[in-house]
């Protein structure tokens, strides 16, 4: 096989051949190309070509191209190696490319990246020439005077920023640990493939798929560890503490502008929810009372029926009574089906006045 790679020329040549193919395909669509584009840039140009098309699926295509780069990253590494089994450094480079894309997509990471510049003067001004520990110490200093409350708030906000950054680092370190583990897992899988009876990888795509398997395997090991659970919890909690500080500062600002705040709106929502619940319960109560009344009525009718049966059994019973008795249960049949629970207790309660429309 090595002969084949040598015969084919160096990586640059392979790259050019690939890109020529891409360019030929895109030429009819107006795609312009760089003189010596790397693999990933070919896709960038495709992305630009379709970027202006605001159809429902353009975002999907953008995402697809972005994900495709992960495959081309692997492909590029393989071509650079001219078909040799990638070594530790090459594998590190391959998995590292995935890690960056993965971590940067995290929603709270993205939220903070977007929100931070918008906060402007609401953000505490953190001195940059302090170490983290010294800064934390400084932020724990007691506040006093007229602006004491504001100072305490801002110090707490600043500590939340530091905690968030620290928790993020802790989480990312474990992601890196899982990726380093993936390198080992991949090497082991490659070694298995080279064993007698093993299954050598016949296409770059198989290498890509095996790499994904290795990364997932290593990630699952790390993600199920107690260490990861703790780091995950710390990250989520730190994100929430930071967000609650941001929420509070925005509330204070909107309050100063005379606008209703999230807390006020939530309080209204809570009251409405409680009122609905109370109303429903009251409605259920009326319904239960109605059920009790019906049960009492049934009990009364049963007594009447028993009396009628007894009267019929007696030779002197009048036919008119029997006719009444047969007609009597009719209203009961119209009663809604109910659970027959607590009937004796409910039946003893006085029947309330039936409300119209209840």
Q: Tell me: does residue 252 bind other proteins (CB under 8 A).
A: no
Q: Which of 10, 132, 264, 274 binds other proteins (CB under 8 A)?
A: 274
Of residues 84 and 302, the one with the C-beta less far from other proteins: 84
Ordered DSSP codes for 24-92? HHHHTTT----SS--HHHHHHHHHHHHHT--STTHHHHHHHHHHHHHHHHHHHHHHHTTTPPP-HHHHH
Q: Tell me: does residue 88 bind other proteins (CB under 8 A).
A: no
Q: Tell me: does residue 8 bind other proteins (CB under 8 A).
A: yes
Q: Tell me: does residue 304 bind other proteins (CB under 8 A).
A: no
For 46, the token pair is: 């495709």
Q: Tell me: does residue 204 bind other proteins (CB under 8 A).
A: yes
Q: Which of 37, 45, 75, 77 binds other proteins (CB under 8 A)?
A: 75
> At 144, is the secondary structure helix, strand, or coil?
coil
Q: Tell me: does residue 272 bind other proteins (CB under 8 A).
A: yes
Answer positive or negative: Cα dihedral of 221, 227, 233, 238.
negative
Rounded CA gap, 14 and 20, in Å?
A: 10
Q: Tell me: does residue 83 bind other proteins (CB under 8 A).
A: yes
Residue 90 exposed, middle or buried by CB count within 10 Å (0-12, 13-18, 19+): middle
Cβ atoms of 297 and 332 within 8 Å: the answer is yes
The angle subtended at Cα 305 by Cα 300 and Cα 306, nearest 5°, is 100
Q: Tell me: does residue 269 bind other proteins (CB under 8 A).
A: yes
Q: Tell me: does residue 216 bind other proteins (CB under 8 A).
A: yes
Region 119-178 residues binding other proteins, contact defined as CB under 8 A? none
Q: Tell me: does residue 38 bind other proteins (CB under 8 A).
A: no
Size of the site for other proteins (CB under 8 A): 93
CB of 253 to other proteins, least distance (A): 18
Q: Which of 56, 117, 257, 357 binds other proteins (CB under 8 A)?
A: 56
Of residues 15 and 154, the one with the C-beta less far from other proteins: 15
For 148, the token pair is: 């004491």
Q: Tell me: does residue 241 bind other proteins (CB under 8 A).
A: yes
**Binding segment toward other proteins, per CB under 8 A, in 73-81, 130-138, 145-153, 297-305:** 73-81
Q: Tell me: does residue 112 bind other proteins (CB under 8 A).
A: no
Those residues with Cβ within 8 angstroms of residue 129's Cβ, 6 or more apart along the chain or in another chain: none
Q: Which of 98, 112, 157, 164 binds other proteins (CB under 8 A)?
A: 98
Q: Tell me: does residue 325 bind other proteins (CB under 8 A).
A: no
Rounded alpha-carbon distances, angstroms, from residue 9 to 2, 35, 353 = 11, 19, 97
Cα 48 from chain centre: 30
Q: Tell me: does residue 65 bind other proteins (CB under 8 A).
A: yes
């Amino acid at each position: 096989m090595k002969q084949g790679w040598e015969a084919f020329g160096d990586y640059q040549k392979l790259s050019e051949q690939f890109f020529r193919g891409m360019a030929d395909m895109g030429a009819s669509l107006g795609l312009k190309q760089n003189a010596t584009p790397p693999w990933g840039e070919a896709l960038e140009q495709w992305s630009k070509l379709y970027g202006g098309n605001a159809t429902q699926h353009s975002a999907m295509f953008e995402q697809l191209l972005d994900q495709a780069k992960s495959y081309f990253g692997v492909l590029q590494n393989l071509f650079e190696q001219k078909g040799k089994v990638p070594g530790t450094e090459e594998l590190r480079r391959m998995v590292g490319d995935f890690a960056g894309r993965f971590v940067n997509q995290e929603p709270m990471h993205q939220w903070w990246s977007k929100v931070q510049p918008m906060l402007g003067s609401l953000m505490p001004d953190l001195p940059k020439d302090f170490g983290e520990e010294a800064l934390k110490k400084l932020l724990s200093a007691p506040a006093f005077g007229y602006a004491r409350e504001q100072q305490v708030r801002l110090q707490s906000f600043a500590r939340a920023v530091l905690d968030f950054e620290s928790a993020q680092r802790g989480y990312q370190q474990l992601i890196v640990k899982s990726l380093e583990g993936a390198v080992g897992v991949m090497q082991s899988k490659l070694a298995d493939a080279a064993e007698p009876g093993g299954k050598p990888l016949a296409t770059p795509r198989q290498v890509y798929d095996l790499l994904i398997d290795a990364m997932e395997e290593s990630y699952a090991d790390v993600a199920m560890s107690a260490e990861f659970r703790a780091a995950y919890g710390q990250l989520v909690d730190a994100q929430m503490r930071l967000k609650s500080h941001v929420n509070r500062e925005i509330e204070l600002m909107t309050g100063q502008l005379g606008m209703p705040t999230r807390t006020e709106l939530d309080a209204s929502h809570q009251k409405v929810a409680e009122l609905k619940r109370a109303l429903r319960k009251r409605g259920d109560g009326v319904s239960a009372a109605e059920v009790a009344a019906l049960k009492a009525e049934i009990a009364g009718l049963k007594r009447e029926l028993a009396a009628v049966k007894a009267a019929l059994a007696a030779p002197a019973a009048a036919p008119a009574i029997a006719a009444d008795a047969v007609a009597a249960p009719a209203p009961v049949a119209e009663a809604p089906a109910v659970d027959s629970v607590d009937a004796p207790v409910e039946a003893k309660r006085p029947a309330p006045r039936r409300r119209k429309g209840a």
